[in-house]
Structure 1
Amino acid sequence: MTNKNNLFPQLFLRIAIAVTMLSAIADRFGFWGKNSAWGNWENFEKYTKQLTFFLPESLSTFSAYAATFLEILFPLMLILGFKTKIAAYGAGFLLLIFALSMSVALGIKAPLDYSVWVGSAAAFLLANQEKYSFTIDNLTNKK
C-alpha cells in the first residue's frame, strides 16, 4: 500500500519533473520570449549538434526531433499518471543522456547549472515507487 504521507509529495514530484521538461519544450519553440535559452528551433538544433558532436549531422538532427518527442511524451504521461513507471524511467534515462552529453560537450558545470543530474535522479526515484497516487493507472487497475 502507498503510505498516506507519500501521496502529495509523489504527485508534486511527478508534476515538477513534467513541468520542468515541458518548459524546455516551450523554450525551443520560443514561448518564453526574452527569458529563453534557445528561443527558437534553429538555435535548439545548433545546441543539439554541439552536444552530439560525435554523431553524423543527420543523426544529430534526428536526435533533436527524438529528444523533443520524448520530452513531450514522458511529461504528459507523468501528469496524467498513465504508465507512470515507464514514463518515470523514460524521463530518468532521457535526462541522464542529456546530463552525460552536456558534461562531455560543455563540461560538468552546464548540467549542474540546469539541475539535469537532479532531474534524472528524481525521475529514477519516482520510477522506484511501488504504487502511484492520483493516476490513470489506478483507475484502470481497479477491479
Structure 2
Amino acid sequence: MSARQEVMDRVAEVNAQFYEAIENGDLDLMQRVWADEDDAPDLVCVNPGWPLLRGRAEIMRAWALFMANVPYIQYVLTETTIGVSGETAMVTCEENVLTAEEDTPGFIAGGQVVTTNLFVHTAHGWRMWSHHASPVLLDDADEEE
C-alpha cells in the first residue's frame, strides 16, 4: 500500500469516527475527532439550521446538546471523495440522514446533506478542523423518481 493510500485510509477512519460519535451520542469520541485549537486555529462547524460555530468549546457544547436531544440518527454516506495536500485533507460526501422521534414510535424522517469535512495532521494523528454541511433541497420531480 502506498504512503498516500495509508494517509487517505487514516483520514477516512477519522471521518467515519465523526459520524459514529454522532450516531452513538459519544461525546468523548467527538472530542477526540476534533483538533485542539493549538493544532488548528479557528475551528468551524456549520450544520443545517445551526448558527455558525467557532472554537472548540462552542462546537463541543453544541454537539453535546444535539446528542442529548436526538434519540436516533443514522448516516449513510455516499459519493465520498478524499483529497490530501501536505498536512491538510478534505472529505466531501453526501450524508443521507435518517432520524426518528422518541415520542413517535416507528416514524423515520430522511434528508440529504452535502458535506465538506477538513482535517489537519497533528501530533495525535488526523483531526477535524472544519465541518460544513448544507441541505439538498429536492424539488417535486426529484421526489417522484
TM-score, structure 1 as length reference:
0.29
Q: Which has the higher contact order (CA 8 A, sep 6+)?
A: 1
Richer in strand (by share):
2
